[in-house]
Amino acid sequence: MRNVSSSNSSRGIAAIVGVGPNLGRSIARKFAHEGYTVAILARDLGRLSRFADEIAREEKAQVFAIRIDCSETQSYGGPFNFSDIRLDSFQKSLAVASIGAFHCAQQVLPGMVERGKGTILFTGCAASLSGVAGFSELCCGKFALRGLSQCLAKEFHQLGVHIAHVIIDGVIGASRASQRLLAREQHCSVGGDGAMDPDSVAQTYWYLHIQPRAAWTQEIDVGSSSFRLV
């Protein structure tokens, strides 16, 4: 982290927590393209390092891979009968969705307040808005994350920190560029499975970051209605 903090980027530092092969990687690539030093964080350091090398090479940018455990899991699975859910499993789900975000926000907010600027973007889903039968673990955690985002947005707005909640209402697929590369390798056409292009969704995160303070958005819904959980 000291290496990241000592970066001489003129734009600043963008940290993306919980980076996977689709949306997280696309957001990291977008901010690197715009001149930011990028730190990508997740548990799998080997995979992160490959992403960092790829983005740094493509965008001629500084990209750091940092291992971090915010109690994130690969998938929620489900649906589950409520009576079968164990307390430790429910607590783990809350940690996955909200406690990790709480810890990360506490780490970066003091510096943002000191500088009088900064952006924190939380990622939710359709379960952030409405309960879904069989998914009480997921929904309760996502409700908590949305509440955290709303509270922080009101608390830190006057201090110059933009905090917003992004609702991903749909399925994020591989980027169109990755699909085209795979199609060429397999001599087939790009599939139209209805999944959202992560590079396009990443544009929304960039849009929120560069919004003028007088018109900050605190929540935005991005997605395909054909994939709604409600």
Residue 183 — φ and ψ, nearest 5°?
A: -65, -40
d(CA 163, CA 157): 8
Q: How many residues does the chain have?
A: 230
pLDDT tens track for 66-108: 998 766 444 466 678 899 999 998 998 888 889 989 999 999 9
* Residue 208: predicted pLDDT: 97
Over residues 24-52, the mean pLDDT reads 96
Q: Which domains does the chain carry?
A: 1-69 (3.40.50.720), 89-222 (3.40.50.720)
Examine the pLDDT at 63 and tell me if it is beyond 60. Answer: yes
* Residue 146: predicted pLDDT: 97
d(CA 73, CA 94): 11
d(CA 179, CA 24): 17
Nearest alpha carbon to residue 210 among 39, 35, 8, 5: 35
Q: Is the pTM of this model over 0.95?
A: no
Fill in the amino acid letter for 91.
Answer: Q
Question: At what angle are helices 100-115 and 136-156 packed, to 10 degrees?
Answer: 10
* Residue 68: predicted pLDDT: 87
d(CA 201, CA 222): 7
* Residue 193: predicted pLDDT: 60
pLDDT tens track for 103-142: 999 999 999 999 999 999 999 999 999 999 999 988 999 9
Alpha-helical runs (H) found in 43-135: 45-59, 87-94, 100-115
Tokens describing residue 218: 């605190």
Per-residue pLDDT band for 39 (boundaries 50, 70, 90) equals very high
